[in-house]
Chains A and B, each alone.
Chain A
Amino acid sequence: MIQINELTKIYKLTKKQMIEQKTKKDLKRAVDNLSLVAKPGEIYGLLGPNGAGKTTALRCIATLLKPTEGNIVVSGFDTVKESEKVRKKIGFLTNEIKLDPQFSPKYMFEFFGKLHKVDDKLIEERREKLFSYFEITDFQDKKIEELSTGMKQKASIAVSLVHDPEVIIFDEPTNGLDIVTARNVTDYLKLLKEQGKTVIISTHIMTEAEKLCDKIGIIINGSKVSEGSLEEILNRTGTRDLEDAFFELYKIHNKEEE
């Protein structure tokens, strides 16, 4: 279970970042008063354009960033006060966090298993299961730097699940993957959901959100502008698919911001 209560995250921009982002304000409100609840046995999808604040929100859940305001509770633990306990419960995947390229997927799996204090036998068992599901077994001893993007991503996913976490946070999990591998990943997420895990993902791929997510939260400029099941969102916006719904919302809310 993930509970985000009125989360606001403000970054202080350096002069260089201000020039890059063409702004005169030195503060950037990446996430603005965001509240949501993701329940076990459910896939929650954060949908939004690039820079909407999806990754920031997920990093706050994963304890890597501290909320400027508000708080987040994961499996009953506060992400700031009990960050270590939170990290025990979560599996986090994001593009910017990578596995050491000099090691093999097998070594990394075992290393992180040990850091999570999983015992050796269990590590072995899980490795066999996950590596065969994601078809990593054949290249498990190759150095990660020698692997293709898809293979790397699959290895990262497997490693993030080494401790069988009850909360899964995947930031754009199918980014850069071919359709076969992407399908492989989304199927596994469904499997995790069926096992009663709490799954939260971020994506900007509408079809993925449509097919995969039980609940969708649309984020524009750091604020949640709509939330509900696919049906609820379509009804609310009077549209036929998620892409149309998104653009309806985008028209209204992006203007407000300007």
Chain B
Amino acid sequence: MDGTKHIIKKELTRIFTDKKMIVSLFILPGVLIMVMYSVMGGLISNLEEDIETHVPTVYIQNAPEDFEDVIKELDYQANITYINSQDSIDSIKDDILIGDVELLVVFDEGFKETIGSYSSLGDAIPEVRTFYNPSEDYSGVARSNFNGIVLNTYHHYLLTERFGNTEQLQVFHIDRDPEAGVIVDEGKASGKSLSMLLPFLINIMLFQGAMALGMDAITGEKERGTIASMLLSPIKRSEIVFGKMISLGMLTSLSAVIYAIAVVIGIRNLSGGAMGEIASMTFTPLQIIQLLVLLIALVYFYVSLVVLVATFARTQKEAGTYVTPLYIIVMLGGVLTMFSSGSERGLEFYAIPVYNAAISLQNLLVGELTMPQFGVAVGSLAILASLITVLITRAFNNEKVMFNA
């Protein structure tokens, strides 16, 4: 296995002595990921802030006299226009549709009188109707704020007017302190939100790294005619294959680590608090070992997949064409986990390559990965990768594959 050792050393030297390679493989993608997430984060928080601070334009028809006082007292921020029952509301509805006006509130005519004349069951109860556009962010927020702040208060105010003591009506409270009622496993809760995104990202990043490196290290060398010089050395073909795969695995892992750091930094900007979630996540030693083993199996599997394709491709262009469908499958495996939880799946699902890695990672992050699930996932990945390695070694012995002969 001396040959393998020398080849690994050469492959790593090749990458690390080439500034362009370091920039294009590690630094540039890392910076891009970070910038992408930061920009996304910035945009989202800007958007949220914008909606929060936006002063809505509200039209109120037939507002009772005391309603205006309530609004003044509440310090409710809005450009309010009061209109009469004679005024047409059709043009206001049109403006809501195009997003120029956020909210129209219509009190029934004779609102206060109807309330005042109520005496027994079956008497008329007046209505307040709100018109808004749920597809407009401003409009939706304006309506819920108006309902929550203004109408609720006015409702309570009228109840007090009618009964004096409203405790009679309260009967019971629900959660006077809602925060105190939350019982949650912090680790699992933060894992839950991460478990949606991370399996997807890890899958893609590992494959991406293997793809970029593998095509150059195998097909590129075939194209440049440099791999043949190695085939002329008195070492076994399998030694060359192992040398290539191990060095690729190491580089892929390194690129994945760099990408992961970039994502974490990016996510911190994305949602402000998510970084705290990552920090508050705790892993048991067993979980850490499981995570490492799972990632190693996954790297081995993806590297073998890419190397297989790269070995059979005649040119890098051809390799790119072959590897794209695989990339899409890997992405799909990750996407599937984003919208479902892994715990209720049968053990056989853990034998499906790509998908098994994604669901195992998902379960691991919420602390629900069982040993059988872990075993089946790692086992199936390793067995498949070994089979592919055998195929690659055979291909390396095949003159038609190696020399297009």
A102 at the interface (CB under 8 A from B): yes
Binds B, one of A108-116, A130-138, A242-250: A108-116
How far, in angstroms, from A115 to B232 measured CA to CA in the complex? Answer: 10
A176 at the interface (CB under 8 A from B): no
Which residues of chain A are within 8 angstroms of B6 by Cβ–Cβ distance?
111, 114-115
Cβ B232 vs Cβ A87 within 8 A: yes
- Point out residues on B near A: beta carbons under 8 Å: 2-3, 6-7, 10, 13-14, 17-18, 221, 224-226, 228-236, 399-400, 402-403, 405
Which residues of chain B are within 8 angstroms of A96 by Cβ–Cβ distance?
225, 228
Give 30 CB contacts A-B under 8 Å: A62-B232, A64-B232, A65-B403, A84-B236, A87-B233, A87-B234, A90-B232, A92-B232, A98-B224, A98-B226, A98-B229, A99-B229, A100-B10, A100-B224, A101-B224, A102-B14, A102-B17, A103-B10, A103-B13, A111-B6, A114-B2, A114-B6, A115-B3, A115-B6, A115-B233, A115-B235, A116-B234, A117-B2, A117-B234, A159-B229
CB B4 to nearest CB in A, in angstroms, measures 10
A29 at the interface (CB under 8 A from B): no
Task: Fill in one digit per residue for A66-92: 1 if any B CB lies within 8 Å of its CB, else 0.
Answer: 100000000000000000110110101
CB B44 to nearest CB in A, in angstroms, measures 43
Cβ B233 vs Cβ A116 within 8 A: yes
Residue of A nearest to B239 (CB): A115
Which of B224, B229, B405 is in CB contact (< 8 Å) with A112? B229
How far, in angstroms, from A101 to B236 measured CA to CA in the complex? Answer: 24
CB A13 to nearest CB in B, in angstroms, measures 11
Closest 4 CB pairs of A and B: A115-B233, A88-B234, A87-B234, A97-B228
Question: When A11-B405, A100-B14 are in contact, do A112 and B231 touch as well, CB less than 8 Å?
Answer: no
Interface size on A, residues (CB 8 A): 30
From DSSP, what is the main secondary structure of chain B's interface residues?
A: helix
Residue of B nearest to A14 (CB): B404
Beyond contacts A84-B235, A102-B14, A103-B10: 9 other A-B pairs, Cβ-Cβ < 8 A, are A64-B399, A84-B234, A87-B234, A98-B224, A98-B229, A100-B14, A100-B224, A114-B6, A115-B234
Which of B3, B228, B235 is in CB contact (< 8 Å) with A64? B228
CB A225 to nearest CB in B, in angstroms, measures 24
Residue of A nearest to B18 (CB): A102
